[in-house]
Structure 1
Amino acid sequence: MPSQDPSSQIERVPLHEEVTNRLRDMIVSLRLRPGERIQELEVAQLLGVSRTPVREAIKVLTAEGLVELLPLRGAIVKAFSAKDARDMLEVIALVESYAGERACQADQAQIDAILAMHEQMKVFFESRERLAYFALNQRIHEALIALADNDTLSMTHATLSKRMRSLRYSGNSTPENWNAAMAEHEQMMVALAARDAAALSRIMGEHIRNTWPRIKDVVN
């Protein structure tokens, strides 16, 4: 179990949503690795909470597909096969490509909000704050999907994105991969600002498909 600064412990209980966020971050950043058992008591002590919100968090993360409950083993961080990862990335690419076509029809205020998030993400990129960068990166993708104004599309994207979160985070583990991903985001924003639906659709699809070569070495 990874160590953590006691000053970051959660003082208020149960706050199961905050515990869920902390536990999710531990999985995404690979402080809890695929196949590792989640020790409820250790996590509770680490975060300064009782075991009840930890159990609630595990239920949420199980529903998201990041955790699985196994007989005799308890809660385990989900490990995805190479086929699992490629299949999910292909569907996410199709969803994002479609959303790119629709996003350029959004109100200017909505587009400007995403462009502003991108500028903040660049700050995290330049300061190499990887977890903060990744969290905002995910918000940008979610916002782009939301511009398509299709609840079913958003639900499908949210489900798959949550399952792929830790693997996609690992895709930025080298400077080369992170630089390439950032360059693709720059292209996406140029297309969005210009309301070039064809270009945004293509770039968004390619961006997701380019994830596979960046993560294939860490997939089981």
Structure 2
Amino acid sequence: MQNSYNDDRATGVAGPIPPPSLPRLERPRLHDTVVGHLRQCIVEGVFAPGTKLNERELCDTLGISRTPLREALKVLAAEGLIDLAPNRGASISRMSEAEVRESFELMSGLEAFSGELACERITAAELAQIKALHYGMLACRAQNDLPGYYSRNQEIHDRINEAARNGALRQTYQSINRRLQALRFRSNQQSGKWDDAVEDHEEMIRALEARDGKRLAAVLKRHLLEKRDAVLPLVSGDGTEAKNLLKTTDA
């Protein structure tokens, strides 16, 4: 007696379709958590540019073994946040004055283009999320919460870039932005800079609401170039960051 599957084939009727072969889901990797933690420390200035990282001390502090730490350091090195040298270990990357200037100029163009495309392609739901982030950023400003302010500020820029829906643009944007995050964070350490940035962000929201791509592009470009101008005086001529870059001011 033939089984039903063979009978179906004989009559031209398709038999049962086997389930697709799916990859097994991996549990979150420890080194991903370590990457996020160390990245945040670099952005917020816990580690000064040029600082040599002691693996044993980091393992003791974080309560981890060297394997996930070294995996995390490789990721951060690929992002340009740390330098890995044979027989010398890891140290926090230091950008030269020329690198800072050129990177901010490039980022100003990438953000401007993101703004133009976002105004064409953003959805009402995405705009509502950006506005909610903006209000959260204002609340952090009122409480002098710089880390909270900065994280929402950066997420707004990221959401605008995401709304542009251009994969090549997004990949380049993320690559450059990772290297600039620490400097962007520190550029807001004065109250006046916070307030200027808030005004810029309010202009961004109005331009997004009006779907005015040219206006948003102009605001974003000016915004990034102002950050460049705020950061450059903190970078000495020999390419090392001045000590006052790490000082907390009246913010």
TM-score scaled by length of structure 2: 0.79
The equivalent of 1:43 in structure 2 is 58
Q: CA deviation at 1:218?
A: 2.5
Q: CA deviation at 1:194?
A: 2.0
User: What's the CA shift string for 1:116-174, capped at 9, x where partnerless?
Assistant: 11111111121111112212222111110111110000000000000111111110111
**Structure with larger Rg:** 2
CA distance, structure 2, for counterparts of residue 126 and residue 193 of structure 1: 24
| Structure number having the greater helix percentage | 1
- Answer yes or no: is the 8 Å Cα contact 1:35–1:78 preserved in 2: yes
Which residue identity lines up with residue 203 of structure 1 in the other structure?
A: V
- Answer yes or no: is the 8 Å Cα contact 1:20–1:60 preserved in 2: yes
Q: Alignment partner of 1:210: what SS? A: helix
1:58 aligns with 2:73: yes
Q: CA deviation at 1:66?
A: 0.4
- Answer yes or no: is the 8 Å Cα contact 1:121–1:137 preserved in 2: yes
Which residue identity lines up with residue 190 of structure 2 in the other structure?
A: T
Map residues 15-54 of structure 1 onto 2, 5 A cutoff.
Answer: 15-54=30-69
Q: How many residues align?
A: 208
Q: Unaligned regions of 5+ residues in structure 1, if any?
A: 1-12
Map residues 76-87 of structure 1 onto 2, 5 A cutoff.
Answer: 76-87=91-102
Which residue identity lines up with residue 213 of structure 1 in the other structure?
A: D
1:109 aligns with 2:125: yes
1:91 aligns with 2:106: yes
Report the identity percentage.
34
- Answer yes or no: is the 8 Å Cα contact 2:101–2:232 preserved in 1: no
- Answer yes or no: is the 8 Å Cα contact 1:100–1:204 preserved in 2: yes
TM-score scaled by length of structure 1: 0.90
Q: Alignment partner of 1:32: what SS? A: coil
User: What's the CA shift string for 1:83-139, capped at 9, x where partnerless?
Assistant: 101111111111111111111122211111111111111111211111122122221
The equivalent of 2:151 in structure 1 is 135
Q: 1:158 aligns with which of 161, 167, 174?
A: 174
The equivalent of 1:181 in structure 2 is 197
**RMSD across aligned C-alpha pairs, in angstroms?**
1.5
Q: CA deviation at 1:209?
A: 0.7
Q: Alignment partner of 1:104: what SS? A: helix
